[in-house]
């Protein structure tokens, strides 16, 4: 017996266990061995993560696709797993050490620290996986992977080594985005430009051959800068070659204030005559643009900061080279001062000596680390890079050719934009948690890259023995004993960017490179579902790696969904405190309601502003369905084994079959087109506004009535349509649908593995043609016959009859409400001048119409009685003789309004039809439609005028 109230929490845990025990989500189930695979890789959440709205949306959409295709018979592999999230995880564990007042990472040492991270991962790393399960994600959990698994690590090493061998990975000394808090390089993508209110300092740089006089502009050049503290590292002043103010100075030198270094004035396009003074100081070691200018002019690069962003001047040979006596004093004074404190000190000192001309307020973009939040320092270091430009080419071509398509398509533009301007990808990180770079160095700094230490060491020792750096005996000894080679051969300390391993996810999770069986079956995957915020971070890189190593795209379709924002449209973030926790919504309304909400709001190309009220509404929808099933159960509705919905004879039953077919087609086609909101709207409308509001109501008299063929058929049909609903709803609301599936009948299997309803109305013509051309009896059956074979519920006659009932009841209800007739008052109904068809319908639906419209009896007459309210239902008059009950003048007003409307319609249509150009240019069916509209409006008008006449007579 179905309880009166639906309790999601209880159902959800039970259904999850049921699926788990049945192995329902497992790929490669024996009975599907020959089925077409359907493969999706999950965007691996950070192992430190906990479920947020973005995950909830992302995984709901993937789950809808997976459950849908599973029901359509595909062998579904939804590959789950988590990402080791280098920086984030390392930070979490370091914080934990601090909280517990344990020794820090550096005191602990690398090996011990990593042990702690793994320990942390074992204890707390699985949180998000359980949260995904609560959401109902039907991943094959038995195949869960982690980016630092042995297998995936082997894939990383292999990829690194091969790309290095091909010259696509290389080491280079250039400016990187340096995070002075986390003490690591980060990639361009991990840098966020934040608008900051700062200043523009105008500094006077004295000309070499003049005596500096702050009051005489001829003795100096003014440069404008946002970063005065880096002036210590200046190696030139640049002016635009076309800037006439400075033409004479090009080639001259200035003397760097405070420092005394002589630096040239160079001509470079980079200097913008419109900005500041038109002259700009060049600090190649601390600014990306200046770095390029420096390269063009062969300028020295003088780094004046250390890793932590403090001035490093003492013993800084680059800085001290060629400086006059006394310069070291300044170096000592400023050494070790933090960059922001240094800024103040240096500005003050410049001012003291008259080098500061003025300060302007200036709002500009300043790079910040997305993890640490501190200002990023361009810093000159050795790092590993991927030649992204080269690797991007096949990845660009794949999208150009359509081998991979973005949905919605406009994201392709974003993809191209970035890929075509891609910069070298800095992949080394000065962290401990991650894939340590498989590179070893000899005593002379020569690098040996190999997948394993044995191989690298072997190569290295061979190399040095051959060059007689060591003897063969020493080599053998070092090969045998790692302790012996310590200090001779050392491994690169750095680890790889987390996204390096994520880029391999679509094939590394399938067993590459160790076992390619699953790669053969599941690569390329079918679709990638992700948010636009990681198109660059992840999608683009998977494309590059996939094209390079698999020689094929990782997925033919990339569905890009929106961002979930708060009610006001702001991005949810912890720091803003506007985060809605999906788990709370699940607690309050159930996972099904949350999933349905997200699906219903996932319109393409628009962000989701989530209000919990919506979730409540869809919880109510679940309750509605629950009660409909309860009603069916109370009436003993059941589906006989041999029941064929297409063979139903009762008009009402044929009608619900027709409507079910329509809903099936709508839902199926919408999911196929990734139009999740349309799919959700269709099933919602069908369940509530068709099945509950009309079908069940219209069926009640039959169900409560006498036994007989009609009742037998209806009992079956209520159950049949309910089952179809449960199937259609399952991808969206898996828990309640599975529960009701189990409760409403003795079933052969779980709903999750039940066959999806076939599209009524036949296949689309494309499908029919495809089937006709690919089926074995090619040419024997015309496509039309194949289409009929799929079962067509389309029934216009049933639609017309039930439509009439619906319209009649609605019209009567409306007028009763307007006339303030209490439900207790039963009014008679007179059908005036009814056709044979209408008479038949009225007789067949007598009970229902009387009950639903609160009528007394229904009779027929040639003309409506005097003083009756007259309604137009599908072109005929239905009269409610309410003389004495109704207000005649109110009724006249009502009819006048309707008359005006009919006349307006006629006028509008006439305007169109009277327009020769319209008739000449508009498609025939549109013109035809307009003509029909006119006829209908004219008929309506006639009836209303008649009604008004009769009203007058009554008065």
Report the site for RNA in 830-889 (rule: CB under 7 A).
851, 854
Choices 84-92, 775-783, 814-822, 941-949; region in contact with RNA by CB under 7 A: 814-822
Q: How far is the CB of 585 from RNA (least distance, A)?
A: 14
Tokens of 910: 């006439």
Among 245, 400, 584, 606, binds RNA (CB under 7 A): 606
Q: Which residue, 548 or 595, has its beta carbon nearer to RNA?
A: 595
Q: Which residues in the 180-219 window bind RNA by CB under 7 A?
A: 188-189, 192-193
Q: CA nearest 678: which of 584, 604, 748? A: 604
Provide the CB-side half-sphere exposure for 844 (13 A, CA): 17
CA dist 408 and 904 (Å) reads: 41
Q: Which stretch binds RNA (CB under 7 A): 169-177, 659-667, 885-893, 929-937?
A: 929-937
Q: Taking CB under 7 A as the criterion, which residues in 899-918 touch RNA?
A: 905, 909, 912, 915, 917-918
Give the binding range for RNA (CB under 7 A) out of 112-120, 385-393, 575-583, 931-939: 931-939
**Which two structure tokens, joined as six digits, stand for 51?**
């479920």
Buried b (16+ CB within 10 A) or exposed e, 774-790: eeeeeeeeebeebbeee
Identify which of 79, 76, 80 has the alpha carbon closest to the alpha carbon of residue 45.
80
Residue labelled with tokens 């990593």: 114
| Closer Cβ to RNA, 315 or 896, answer by number | 896
* Out of 818, 857, 887, 896, the residue judged to bind RNA by CB under 7 A: 818
Residues 103 to 132: which contact RNA by CB under 7 A?
none
* 531/55 Cα distance (integer angstroms): 9
Q: Does the protein bind RNA through residue 296 (CB under 7 A)?
A: no
Strand partners, 870: 879
Q: 132-161 mask for RNA (x: CB under 7 A)?
A: ------------------------------
Span of 22-30, 61-69, 606-614, 716-724 interacting with RNA by CB under 7 A? 606-614
- Which of 404, 604 has the CB closer to RNA? 604
Cα–Cα distance measured from residue 506 to residue 508, given in angstroms and rounded to the nearest whole number: 6
Q: Which residues contact residue 490 at a Cβ distance below 8 angstroms, ignoring those fewer than 6 apart?
A: 440, 441
Strands (E), 571-691: 608-609
Question: Per-residue contact track with RNA, 374 to 413, x per CB under 7 A?
Answer: ------------------------------------x--x
Q: Tokens 């012996």 map to which residue? A: 484
CA dist., res. 377 & res. 185, Å (int): 9
- Minimum CB distance to RNA smaller for 701 or for 734: 701
Nearer of residues 113 and 676 to RNA, judged by Cβ: 676
**Cβ distance to RNA smaller for residue 213 or 915:** 915
Query: Helices 709-729 and 734-744, interaxial angle, to 10°?
Result: 150
Rounded to a whole number of angstroms, the minimum distance from the CB of residue 714 to RNA is 14
Of 174 and 484, CB closest to RNA: 174
Task: By CB under 7 A, tell whether 30 contacts RNA.
Answer: no
Minimum CB–partner distance for residue 200 and RNA (Å):
16
Among 42, 608, 648, 728, binds RNA (CB under 7 A): 608
- In angstroms, rounded to a whole number, what is the distance separating the alpha carbons of residues 143 and 511? 10
Asked if 308 touches RNA (CB under 7 A), the answer is no
Q: Give the number of residues in contact with RNA, rule: CB under 7 A.
A: 77
Q: Which is nearer to RNA, 552 or 905 (CB)?
A: 905
In the region spanning residues 679 to 718, those forming contacts with RNA, defined by CB under 7 A, are 681, 688-689, 692-693, 696-697, 700-701, 704
Q: Which stretch binds RNA (CB under 7 A): 143-151, 505-513, 818-826, 860-868?
A: 818-826
Q: 787 with 769: CB under 8 angstroms?
A: no
Beta strands at 827-832 and 876-881: parallel, antiparallel or unpaired? antiparallel
Write phi, then psi, for 159 (nearest 5 degrees).
-65, -40
- Count Cα atoms within 13 angstroms, Cβ side, for 293: 27
Taking the C-alpha atoms of residue 600 and residue 597, their distance in angstroms, rounded to an integer, is 5
Please give the structure tokens belonging to residue 576.
């803003």
- Give the one residue of 348, 634, 890, 900 binding RNA; rule: CB under 7 A: 634
The residue from 51, 304, 540, 628 that contacts RNA (CB under 7 A) is 628
Q: Which two tokens stand for residue 301?
A: 């690069």
Token pair in block for residue 514:
């160790």
Q: How far is the CB of 282 from RNA (least distance, A)?
A: 17
With CA atoms as reference, report the closest residue to 650 among 726, 724, 705, 729.
705
Residues 327-366 that bind RNA (CB under 7 A): 365
Of residues 505 through 564, those in contact with RNA by CB under 7 A are: 533
Residue with tokens 């327009």: 915
**Rg, the chain, Cα only:** 38
169 binds RNA (CB under 7 A): no
Query: In angstroms, rounded to a whole number, what is the distance separating the alpha carbons of residues 507 and 579?
Result: 34
* Cβ(746)–Cβ(668) below 8 Å: no
Q: Are 313 and 295 in contact (CB under 8 A)?
A: no
Compute the C-alpha angle 928/932/938, nearest 5°: 145
Check binding of 90 to RNA (CB under 7 A): no
Quote the least distance from Cβ 867 to RNA, whole Å. 22
Q: CA angle 24-57-588, nearest 5°?
A: 85
x/- track of binding to RNA for residues 227-266 (CB under 7 A): ----------------------------------------
Q: Which stretch binds RNA (CB under 7 A): 91-99, 215-223, 473-481, 567-575?
A: 567-575
Which residue lies nearer to RNA by CB, 496 or 679? Answer: 679
Instruction: Specify the DSSP element, H or E, that contains 909.
Output: helix 888-913
Give the residue with the Cβ less far from RNA, 357 or 930: 930
CB nearer to RNA: pick between 256 and 426:
426
Least Å from the CB of residue 113 to RNA: 31
- Give me the least distance between CB of 880 and RNA, in Å please: 14
- Which one of 858, 930, 943, 947 is in contact with RNA (CB under 7 A)? 930
Q: How many CB atoms lie within 10 A of CB 605?
A: 13
Residue ranges of alpha helices (H) inside 819-859 are 836-844, 846-853
Give every CB contact of residue 317 below 8 A, 6+ residues apart in sequence. Answer: none
| Shortest spacing between CB 41 and RNA, in angstroms | 24
Q: Contact with RNA (CB under 7 A): which of 214, 354, 394, 617?
A: 617
For the bound state, the minimum distance from the C-beta of residue 870 to RNA, rounded and expressed in Å, comes to 16
Q: Which is nearer to RNA, 318 or 807 (CB)?
A: 807
Using DSSP, state whether 357 is helix, strand or coil: strand
Q: Nearest distance from residue 618's CB to RNA, in Å?
A: 8
CB 585 within 8 A of CB 537: no
Which of 487, 455, 453 lies closest to 470, judged by CA? 487
Smallest distance, Å, CB 120 to RNA?
Answer: 30
Of 124, 328, 810, 859, which one interacts with RNA (CB under 7 A)?
810
Length, in residues, of the chain: 955
Interacting span for RNA (CB under 7 A) from 52-60, 312-320, 607-615, 719-727: 607-615
Listed in sequence order, the residues at least 6 apart from 65 whose beta carbon sits closer than 8 Å to its beta carbon are: 40, 527, 529, 671, 731
Query: Judged by CB under 7 A, which stretch of 132-140, 619-627, 794-802, 832-840 contacts RNA?
Result: 619-627
569-598 residues in contact with RNA (CB under 7 A) are 569, 571
3-class SS of residue 50: coil
Report in angstroms how near the CB of residue 826 gets to RNA at its nearest. Answer: 9
Kindly state whether residue 631 participates in binding RNA, applying the rule CB under 7 A. yes
């Amino acid at each position: 017996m179905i309880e009166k109230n639906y309790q999601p929490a209880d159902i959800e845990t039970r259904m999850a266990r049921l699926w788990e025990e049945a192995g329902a989500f497992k790929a490669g189930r024996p009975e599907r061995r020959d089925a077409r695979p359907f493969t999706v890789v999950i965007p691996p959440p950070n192992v430190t993560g906990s479920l947020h709205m973005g995950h909830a949306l992302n995984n709901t959409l993937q789950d809808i696709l997976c459950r849908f295709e599973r029901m359509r018979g595909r062998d579904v592999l939804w590959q789950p797993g988590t990402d080791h999230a280098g920086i984030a995880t390392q930070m979490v564990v370091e914080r934990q050490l601090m909280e517990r007042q344990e020794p820090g990472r550096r005191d602990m040492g690398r090996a011990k620290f990593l042990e702690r991270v793994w320990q942390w991962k074992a204890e707390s790393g699985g949180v998000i996986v359980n949260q995904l399960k609560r959401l109902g994600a039907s991943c094959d959990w038995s195949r869960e992977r982690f980016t630092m698994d042995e297998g995936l690590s082997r894939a990383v090493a292999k990829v690194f080594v091969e790309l290095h061998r091909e010259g696509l990975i290389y080491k280079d000394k250039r400016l990187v985005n340096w995070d002075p808090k986390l003490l690591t390089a980060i990639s361009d993508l991990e840098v966020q430009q934040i608008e900051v209110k700062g200043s523009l300092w105008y500094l006077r740089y004295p000309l070499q051959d003049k005596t500096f006089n702050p009051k005489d502009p001829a003795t100096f050049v003014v440069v404008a800068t946002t970063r005065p503290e880096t002036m210590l590292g200046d190696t030139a002043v640049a002016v635009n070659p076309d800037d006439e103010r400075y033409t004479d100075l090009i080639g001259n030198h200035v003397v760097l204030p405070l420092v005394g270094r002589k630096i040239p004035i160079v001509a470079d396009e980079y200097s913008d005559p419109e900005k500041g003074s038109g002259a700009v100081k060049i600090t190649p070691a601390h600014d990306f643009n200046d770095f390029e200018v420096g390269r063009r002019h062969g300028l020295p690069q003088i780094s004046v900061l250390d890793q932590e962003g403090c001035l490093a001047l003492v013993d800084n040979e680059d800085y001290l080279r060629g400086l006059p006596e006394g310069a070291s004093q300044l170096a000592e004074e400023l050494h070790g001062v933090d960059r922001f404190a240094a800024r103040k000190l240096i500005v003050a000192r410049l001012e003291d000596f008259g080098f500061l001309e003025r300060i302007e307020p200036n709002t500009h973009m300043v790079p910040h680390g997305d993890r640490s939040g501190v200002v990023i320092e361009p810093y000159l270091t050795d790092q590993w890079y991927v030649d992204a430009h080269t690797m991007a080419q096949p990845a660009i071509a794949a999208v150009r050719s359509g081998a991979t398509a973005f949905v919605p398509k406009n994201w392709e533009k974003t993809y191209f934009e970035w890929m075509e301007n891609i910069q070298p990808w800095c992949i080394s990180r000065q962290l401990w948690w991650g894939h340590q770079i498989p590179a070893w160095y000899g005593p002379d700094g020569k690098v040996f890259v190999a997948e394993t230490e044995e191989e690298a060491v072997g190569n290295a020792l061979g190399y040095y023995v051959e060059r007689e750096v060591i003897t063969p005996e020493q080599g053998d000894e070092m090969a045998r004993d790692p302790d012996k080679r310590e200090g001779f051969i050392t491994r690169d300390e750095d680890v790889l960017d987390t996204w390096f391993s994520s880029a391999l996810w679509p094939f590394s999770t399938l067993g590459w490179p160790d076992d390619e069986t699953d790669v053969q079956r599941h690569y390329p995957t079918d679709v990638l579902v992700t948010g636009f915020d990681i198109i660059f971070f992840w999608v683009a890189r998977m494309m590059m790696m996939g094209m390079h190593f698999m020689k094929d795209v990782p997925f033919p379709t990339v569905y890009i969904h929106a961002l979930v924002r708060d009610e006001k449209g702001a991005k949810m973030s912890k720091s803003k405190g506007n985060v809605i926790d999906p788990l709370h919504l699940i607690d309050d309304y159930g996972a099904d309601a949350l999933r349905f909400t997200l699906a219903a709001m996932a319109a393409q190309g628009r962000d989701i502003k989530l209000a919990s009220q919506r979730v409540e509404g869809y919880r109510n929808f679940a309750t509605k369905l629950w009660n409909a099933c309860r009603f069916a159960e109370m009436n003993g509705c059941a589906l006989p084994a041999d029941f064929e919905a297409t063979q139903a004879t009762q008009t009402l039953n044929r009608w619900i079959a027709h409507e079910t077919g329509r809903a099936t087609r709508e839902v199926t086609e919408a999911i196929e087109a990734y139009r999740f909101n349309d799919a959700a709207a269709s099933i919602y409308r069908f369940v509530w506004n068709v099945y509950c509001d009309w079908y069940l109501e219209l069926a009640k008299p039959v169900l409560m009535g006498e036994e007989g063929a009609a009742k037998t058929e209806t009992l079956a049909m209520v159950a049949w349509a309910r089952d179809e609903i449960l199937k259609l709803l399952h991808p969206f609301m898996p828990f309640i649908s599975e529960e009701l599936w189990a409760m409403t009948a003795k079933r052969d299997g779980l709903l999750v593995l039940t066959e999806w309803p076939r599209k009524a109305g036949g296949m689309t013509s494309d499908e029919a043609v495809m089937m006709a051309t690919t089926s074995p009896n090619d040419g024997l059956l015309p496509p039309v016959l194949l289409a009929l074979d799929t079962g067509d519920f389309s029934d216009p006659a049933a639609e017309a009859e039930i439509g009439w009932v619906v319209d009649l009841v609605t019209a009567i209800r409306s007028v009763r409400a307007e006339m303030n007739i209490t439900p207790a008052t039963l009014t008679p109904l007179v059908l005036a001048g009814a056709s044979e068809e209408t008479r038949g319908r009225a007789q067949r639906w007598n009970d229902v119409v009387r009950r639903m419209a609160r009528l007394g009896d229904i009779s027929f007459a040639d003309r409506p009685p005097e003083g009756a309210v007259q309604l137009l239902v599908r072109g005929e008059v239905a009269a409610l003789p309410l003389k004495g009950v109704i207000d005649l003048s109110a009724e006249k007003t009502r009819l006048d309004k309707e008359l005006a409307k009919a006349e307006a319609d006629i006028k509008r249509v006439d305007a169109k039809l009277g327009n020769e150009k319209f008739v000449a240019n508009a498609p025939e069916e549109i013109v035809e439609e307009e003509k029909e509209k006119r006829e209908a409006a004219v008929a309506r008008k006639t009836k209303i005028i008649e009604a008004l006449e009769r009203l007058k007579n009554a008065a």
